[in-house]
Structure 1
Amino acid sequence: MPLSSSVSVVEDDDSLRTAIVGLLDSLGYRVKAYASAETFLNDPSGRQADCIITDIQMPGLSGIELKQHLDRLGVQTPVIMVTARTELSLHARAKASGAVCVLQKPFQEADLVRCIEGVLPA
């Protein structure tokens, strides 16, 4: 992983957001965290990340709606989506929106790291 790799984390659950940030920080990633899609969208520097991790179900814009908004802006940053919901149709919609990975909460740290490493340049 290049030292300059950065990840934006968009997650409304404070404890999960903190855990993901701690994990990625310990692995040497530069991490910016946001409690909502709207907060993320209001910070142009977040969209310059090498990878975006977002929850699907959040108050306001969902992770899928966030991805659609990024597409309209021309942002091509890979997006990883996480969700506690188990409906296969939701997972399919997330993949169809362009998510590079969809992880079911609770997920293994190794699975998240594998998704990130799969989209970042070696």
Structure 2
Amino acid sequence: MPNSRPIVAIVDDDEAVGNAIEVLMRSMGLLARAFLSGEEFLRSPELIRTGCLIVDFDMPKMNGLDLHSKLSRLGKEIPTVLITAYPSDDIRARALEAGVICYLPKPFNESDLLNCIQSALDLRKSK
């Protein structure tokens, strides 16, 4: 199948951040698609092909942790990287307890993000 490669989905209400991460992913040879909200991502046909989800915690309507939890309840276990401009120990603990594989405070460096994505894609392959 030509479209069987997993997608790295980026969900961030800051379009500039989402686009920057999408460009970085593509420069690394990965398929990537940016979304402005959790709701937009949930309606997307790319949902079933998503191998890794990078999601901002602080978004209107549905925050990143809520999106991760909703996907889990729907039976869609997508390895998730939670990013946030407002880090807190409480959110970090809740995220890791919920099964988020990486928690990255903004600004993060590219190598940390790429390591998280590689872990996510490796985890997906092993399932």
Residues 68-106 of structure 1: CA deviation (Å, up to 9, x unaligned): 100111001101100011221111111111100000000
2:83 is aligned to 82
1:16-31 correspondence runs (5 A): 16-31=17-32
Shift of 1:33: 1.1
- Larger RCO: Structure 1 or Structure 2 (Cα < 8 Å, ≥ 6 residues apart)? 1
Report the Cα distance in structure 1 between the residues aligned to 2:48 and 2:70, rounded to whole angstroms: 11
1:94 is aligned to 95
1:8-87 correspondence runs (5 A): 8-87=9-88
Contact 1:55 1:62 in 2 (8 A): yes
Q: TM-score, normalised by structure 2?
A: 0.88
Structure 2 unaligned residues grouped into runs of 5+: none
Q: What CA RMSD, in Å, does the superposition of the two structures yield over aligned residues?
A: 1.5
Structure 1 unaligned residues grouped into runs of 5+: none
Q: Secondary structure at the match of 1:50?
A: strand
Contact 1:41 1:47 in 2 (8 A): no
Report the Cα distance in structure 1 between the residues aligned to 2:120 and 2:9, rounded to whole angstroms: 14
Matched residue type, 1:80: V
Identity among equivalent positions (%) equals 37
